[in-house]
Structure 1
């Protein structure tokens, strides 16, 4: 079994946007180096000043160097037969894979990461960055941040690991492939310990700073989905390189996971979460009565001076909510503005509408349905207390919603705490800021909830 120990220098951190400026490859058999290859590479673009400051490689040095296009056949031939080894392997591997594929060379290799291997072979060290790791193990680096110097040091490190724990390297069968997606600083043991339950998760760097907050019905499965395609996504690749640990918070329900994810993002603003922005233009649901006394509805852009029954963040959200409400409460699609027809609505023709659109359904009976709908809408403006499954057996989650926004929650065991009236719940609720974005989440979930989920409704 042979290994290609590789280090590259680049113009940036993203494989699809950057280019290689230097590459070194050392072919190794686990005991010694068999062959070496190194070259500067003309990236065919300017090298940023900060990269030159880090590596010492400037535009003049690479001006007469071969391009990746010229090197691709040799690189492919050199790399193809061997297991690919690097420190933070996904970075080097992804850059080379993208570069070779641009030149028409399809390539996929078994990979080994010396960060992950070193953590297992030499546990308890202060740092596993290449420089610090070599310093702690007494491995000299001739030229730090130059491809051959770093590759040579990585080869010595690889030899030490092979000598210390050869089973880590030689066990390249099904089990190793099973965990190939894992970030370099995240162990298979840590992955296996992740819960397969509903909740939110926090990706943490080496200092414990939050990099990303997400939600999932199955946290362990979602973690794997995050990084299974990381090599095709520069953002995920950067996240994988920084990730050292995951903190989880079980919620028991998907709704509470959505709500607490929003709270976490708003509080911490993690660098890898997209910013939550409210649209400038909102849409409103409006009601008026026609000359026969039937209520009619329309969805339109919100305007000052016109009071809407409900406001929505987008046209699609408004229509999605309204179409379902019309169906749930048995309203006429034509009078509700869902269908535009010259005569009776299509549902009347199909026999599923009671005929308010042609005066067949009495106004009083139709308006009873409208009143029931308006009560549901008013409940969104008042206070709701929802009762949902908790994080474990015999536990219940309570969610407080005020004026459509999430404002508090609690987890209670009914065997330990008996709640008979809504006011008794107040002292147990953990208050949270009422972010307007939570209104969108509530409007999406409320129509899906069973009647037993509504512990208390106070009309606003």
Structure 2
């Protein structure tokens, strides 16, 4: 029998959701190995003492009636501790499972700490030529047969089959060497709880750094734990990083199904809570934009309009958005100089006669009858083209679906008129999304980027 580690436990949990601090365990399945030999298996349903959503019931097949008479986590605590005693805890996306175990034990006053090995990371290291490393991808890669997918013991058996297949293909020494390397821990500040770091999965999401009494920083990443640890490297890239490392007392995190979900959640949290060390994405006053007149002879040719006056369904010749009137004027002045536009026509200079820029040979001469109003307006539109606001390209609301195969998490982000109305994980949550859209410049930028990507799943939503 090949040996991965001297003593290890393969484990999988089913839960009521994806957030360890809020959701609860509904099933535990594990297999224990000692010196390469399977010494036993344990599988039990758990009464989570909270309701299981219809979505989770459909995903796992675990219903409320199935767990009604099952033991609580408190009742199985000692049995579980015996099974994992002196063992390395191994799971697919192990930070997810470990986070739930840590929080379940914390609720009953027990500090739970184990060495961890993630079989997702093991797969990535052993098979870097493959793109997918979620359990479904591994099952497909090795042509494994799983009769109880999304049930704790069924998924645990698939991890065992994957390790056996890797031993067969690559050899015991190669697999064991990678496993031992993954066990090495990174150092973190002494004033931070090691358990909090261990609970963070390496997946899409947002992390929140708290000080003694305030929120210090909110960040996002496609690999949460790796990104969090990067803040605590000895060679801090900035004075801000150094201050955060010195002030941080606690970490929270929120898992998302993909990159867009992480961007949206980060932006929302920063605007809502105004963390001390976040400067980007802060809440903005009412945005403004430049609207170019349809009449080339209009004076001024451009008008500053504010967010509340913008017709987001058409956006005819509207350019922006800008955080302040000052920023809008600075950009218009800069474009006027670069493109030889007339300051008087743009309303940047008052009075009659030729503009001052023309005397400096910056203006091409609209004010001196050396250029037609039509030509000048076309050059203005060209100069502003990089700031063009696009009309909403869909007939009503849309959803962008994101799915994370590593943890089988799916979210749909709902948008209308460039506004994020909400994120849902179940059809029942559609009733809770916003009905009064609020334009956000960051959301607009994120959407433009994602709508231009390939393989983005867009769903038209009616009603």
TM-score band by shorter chain is 0.3 to 0.5
TM-score normalised to the size of structure 2?
Answer: 0.45
TM-score normalised to the size of structure 1?
Answer: 0.46
Larger radius of gyration: 1
- Structure with more relative contact order (C-alpha pairs < 8 Å, separation 6 or more): 2
